[in-house]
Chain A
Amino acid sequence: MNGSLVGSYVVPVHPHPLLVPEQNEGWSRLRAAFDEARDAIKESDADLLIIYSTTWPSIIGHQIQADPNPQWTLVDQDFHDLGSMDYSFNIDADFAEAWNEANHNRGLQSRTVAYHGFPIDVGSVVALKLLNPDNKIPAVIVSSNVYANRSETTVLAKACLDVIQKTGRKAVAVTAMSMSNRMFTEFIDPSDDRIHSLKDDEWNRKVLEFLEEGRLEDVAQLSRTIHQQIRVQKVVTFKPMWWLSAMNGNRNNLTGRVLAYEALHGAGGAVVQLDPTSTGMGDKEYDEDDVEYYRGERNVLDGEETTEADDPLTPSSGPALWEPPESKGAVNSKAAPKPVGMYPHARQVGDLLYLSGVGPRQPGTNSIPGGPIRDEDGNPVEYDIKAQTRAVVENIARILEEAGSSMDKIVDVTSFLVDMDRDFAGYNEVWAATLGHYGPTRTTLAIRALPTPIAVEMKVIAKI
């Protein structure tokens, strides 16, 4: 299945457009922009809304809402006099669980939450009530981790994309966030609302100009600067843009539209639509690391320091991992698992690319989707051949992409199965849904064992 992101939106977090749009013309225009965004989402046939909310801070990694039907009455901590917000949402708990698992596969700390009475944050409530008022589109909400840096936030998005692609969803990504977030610190008459300062207003307009040009990755890379200039130093950096840009492939050639930009008690509130359709702006330079797996500061608890046995580079069982050598014609990818010997991921000769045997192990974590075939004592355990086979195909795709090739250029595949009787059908099913589409020749062999506790490996020859 091939899922995709069919649209992205930036929406403000304060409750004024939901509760009292009539009290200020700007709030009313924001409400109209929410309505326009709602209609556009409906027309896109999206089947999933993903909310990244800055008003849901978390500490222990990221949290993902997984209560299928959370219901409560929310009152804003500051603007309680504007009224109460009853909510009852349709949450896609299965997607939430899959995203959580994908996060773990990419080295992230995360967990799902599904508790009666869990306080869904104001940014998420405003976004879901206005963008999806009849709950027809299932939603997922993720927190904003107060300690997360760019790499962690980027990987969070990539894990989400993993699940979108695997499940074939047509998803819309929404960041619930302010632009400048400096509010007036005193009570004001609604008619007196304006952006807190000329400086904040100018920065907001510059950021919106970028977004209108589809230059999302440029905004993401300016995140720290924007934060220093127009943000109250609470939620570290302008991090929702890291997430949204990674959700869009870190691109600068989107099609952007600013539907509204107004003041909300002094803060900058904007409704922005970002269509994935490429514009002529072109994809600009890319400065920062394109991180695939998070390996930052995590194990800070005593007794959980990274030990040799825990280090993904040193699996607890099986052979040691090697850094792939940079020999002539070698192609190595950080997005592929480390080899178990001194050989490259691939080698180019002329216009042909020869891949070393590719298994399902995950880069960074060295985990095996679908589980290993034996435990650390060598006892056989249950595993999922389909999950392993899919992971093999994904690893092949990453290596080909690194080499400048692609799946449709694969010429020949030799597959190795450790248990032909048990696994051929499942392996064959995944093949048909993936590599089979591209039509390479194939040979499948039964072998006694592979170096790591995996059930399937493939040897690939492709054209460049």
Chain B
Amino acid sequence: MTELPPTLMAKGSIVAGCLAPHPPHLVYAENPPQNEPTSEGGWEQLRWGYERLRESLSKIDHDVLVLLSPHWQTYVGTHFLGIPHFEGLSVDPVFPNLFRYTYDMNIDVELSQAIHDKAKGSGLAVKMMENPDFRVDYGTITTGHMVNPAFDKPLVVISSNRSTHYYSVEVMQEMMMELGRVTREAIEESGKKAVILASNSLSHRHFTTESEVPEDMSKEHIASHAMHLWDMRIIDYMRTGQAQRILDEMPEFTEQAIAESDGGGLTWLLSTLKVPDYPAILHGYGTIIGTGNAIVEWPCYANEGDVQ
């Protein structure tokens, strides 16, 4: 088959962008066959939110899920999973009582490499991860499971460069805005339809104790009123199409809400979506051991003129 030059290929697109947090409690609460521990449920508001997101995404044709996980933390550049297939057992080092998951996933190495190459071309430090013994982080697996439990679509998995900790939120934003831009560019050139997933919570102050029954919802609430106010403020910006204000307030939000936006995922997501000025759909909000988590979808297919 003759390969068409990029200009003649069907243009790829981002069909949806999602905030899709990864606390392993959600997988634990669902009792999927892949996870060894069992529960009596819990965190239903969020799990029903994920149900709504899955329902919504099922109506959108897409080829690949592109995910940035704050739990693959890299200090030297941004890394990409670079082998077609990963399988194994993932045990959460923080909540091993909840998450011991047997995973099996495919990677779209071609698209990963394309984003990697573009990022390198624009001056970012990047590396492909090609060690077959590498264990995929539980953040990737949790978000991957909650969005697509069958894992029947390939993923692009991007590490979280810890530039917030090394430098500042401002430097992180500069790097993630660029990574988002080249991610979009690579997707468009690939001819593929992609869903973007930022796998992070909002406010991120945990409880330091765990209930005897982890899924005891009578014990679950936001860690503090200040965290609640920040979460609602950011969600309100999402719901009213004010993504630029999220970026503007990111330094204060990240510091004051100890937000998991420090990992860069939210900035990267908004950048891939060209800082959307249309309303996002809030599928669900809830707390997990005190942290604030929102499941949010930006339906690009309905709001961007160039999306097929």
A binding-site residues for B, Cβ under 8 Å: 56-61, 73-75, 77-81, 83-84, 109, 113, 115-119, 121, 145, 147, 182-187, 232-234, 265, 297-304
Contacts and interface: CB of A to CB of B under 8 A. Distances in A.
Given A59-B94, A60-B94, A118-B96, A298 B209 contact: yes
B241 to A, nearest CB: 33
A301 B207 contact: yes
B33 interface: no
Nearest to A234: B165
The A interface is mostly helix, strand or loop, or mixed, namely loop
Contacts of A116: 89, 91, 100
Chain A CB count within 10 A is highest, among B75, B79, B131, B218, for B75
Contacts of A297: 208
Given A60-B95, A186-B77, 12 more contacts: A57-B93, A77-B159, A80-B130, A81-B130, A84-B133, A117-B100, A232-B162, A234-B162, A265-B76, A303-B218, A304-B209, A304-B219
Given A75-B134, A77-B159, A234-B165, A300 B208 contact: yes
B125 interface: yes
A232 B94 CA distance: 21
A186 B76 contact: yes
The B interface is mostly helix, strand or loop, or mixed, namely loop
A113 B75 CA distance: 27
Contact of A185 (B77, B97, B134): B77
Interface in B101-150: 125, 127, 129-131, 133-135, 137
Contacts of A113: 96-97
B104 to A, nearest CB: 15
A57 B129 CA distance: 23
A75 B209 contact: no
B76 A183 contact: yes
Contacts of B77: 185-187
A121 B135 CA distance: 12
B230 interface: no
Contacts of B134: 75, 80
Nearest to B207: A300
Interface string B55-85: 0000000000000000011111101000000
A185 B208 contact: no
Contacts of A80: 79, 129-131, 134
Contact of A115 (B96, B130, B166): B96
B221 interface: yes
A265 B158 CA distance: 22
A182 B166 contact: yes
B125 A187 contact: yes
A302 B219 contact: yes
Q: Which 9 A-B pairs have the closest CB atoms?
A: A84-B133, A117-B89, A80-B131, A75-B134, A301-B219, A186-B125, A73-B133, A117-B91, A234-B165
Nearest to A86: B133
B131 A298 contact: no
Contacts of B161: 185
A332 B130 CA distance: 63
Interface string B228-259: 00000000000000000000000000000000
B276 interface: no
A265 B74 CA distance: 13
Interface string B200-235: 000000111111000000110101000000000000
A65 B135 CA distance: 19
A365 B161 CA distance: 42
A78 B126 CA distance: 11
Contacts of A79: 76
A75 B131 contact: yes
Contacts of A59: 94, 206, 208, 289
A81 B208 CA distance: 35
A77 B74 contact: yes
Nearest to A114: B96
A118 B93 contact: yes
A56 B96 CA distance: 13
Contacts of A75: 131, 133-135
Given A60-B208, A185-B166, A301-B209, A77 B100 contact: no
Interface in B156-188: 159, 161-163, 165-166
B165 A233 contact: yes
Contacts of B95: 60
A427 to B, nearest CB: 34
B150 to A, nearest CB: 23
